[in-house]
Every structure is written in structure tokens, then in C-alpha cells.
Amino acid sequence: MPYPYYQNNQYYMQNMQDLQNMKERIDKQMQQMQQFNQNQMQQQPVPNVTQNFQFAPNPTNNELESKYVNNIDEVRGIFVTKTGVFLNKELNTLWIKNTNGDIRTFELSEIIQTDPKDTEILMLKKQIEEMKEMIANESNVNNSDNDESNESKNATKLSNNKRTNAKQK
């Protein structure tokens, strides 16, 4: 028996009719949804999405990681995949950590640009200080010469005194 046998042929025909009606309703709803979607597409154009996602970094030697930290202990605890630059929040210390884990520490200070007149004043002050040192050195040399001549005079006086004392005995 290739087909099932139904005793009540009317029941079979009714089920077939119900299935056919259901199929027609589904088809109508599908057509309505397609028309609705087409109308929506015409009313609101869909923007082109041009966004690239990078799932894994492309490490190069030219890139740096950077981060603010409080102290060198935080730098030691951070794992770096490329050279990392770490600044403390007061901006006076810089740490550079490479992938081997080596850390180099640098102290930072602000360089203030000076006016040419201020630069000239500083240079003149420096020259004055150098001249003062030269004068002080020359006066020390002269004093030491005087001290040496006084010492030699004193030595000759002592030797003369010894000679006169020896003759007197």
C-alpha cells in the first residue's frame, strides 16, 4: 500500500484543505513581509559599513606602549609585548621596559626657553664668576710666594742664630 488508507475520505479531504489554506496564509504573510522590507529599504538607505577589526596586533619595533604608573613596582608587574614607556603621574620619572624585562629609569626636568637677553645676562654672570676665581687664585699664588719668602727669611734667621749661638759656646 503506497498511500495510507483512510476510511473516512471526507476527514482526509478536510485535513488536506486545512493544510492548503495554511500554506496560502503563510505565502501571503511572506509576500507581505517582503513588500514591507522592500519599502523599508527604499525609505531608509542602509549605510555602508567599512570597519576593520584587528584581532591580533601586528608588532613592529617602531611601536610603543605607554601608560601612567605610580612607581617602579607597577612597571615590574606589567607584561609588555613591545617596548613600553611608563610615566609617573608627577611627570618627573620615566621608565622604559623592553620585552626582555629590562627597565631603564630616567629623570625628567622641564627645559624653559630663555630670551636672548636672559642668555646674555647668564653668560656675563658666568664670566664674572670666572674672573673672580682667577683673581682669587692669583692672590693665593702671591700670598704663597710671600709666605715662602717669609719662611726662607725665617729659616736664614734661625740658621744665623744657630751659628752665632755655636760661636758663643
pLDDT at 110: 82
The dihedral formed by the CA atoms of 46, 50, 51 and 57, expressed in degrees to the nearest 10: 160
**Mean pLDDT estimate for the chain:** 77
pLDDT at 31: 92
pTM to 2 decimals? 0.35
pLDDT at 126 over 70: yes
Amino acid at 5: Y
Report the alpha-carbon distance of residue 2 to residue 159 in Å, rounded.
154
pLDDT level of residue 2 (50, 70, 90 thresholds): low
Q: What's the chain's length in residues?
A: 169
Residue 160 is given by DSSP the state H
pLDDT at 147: 54
Q: DSSP string covering 113-127, please?
A: P--HHHHHHHHHHHH
**What is the phi/psi pair of residue 74, to 5°?**
-65, -40
- Return the domain boundaries, the chain: 65-107, 112-163
User: What is the tens place of the pLDDT at every residue in 45-54?
Assistant: 666 767 666 6
Residues near 94 by Cβ (< 8 Å), separated by ≥ 6?
A: 85, 86, 87, 105, 106, 107, 108
pLDDT at 37: 82
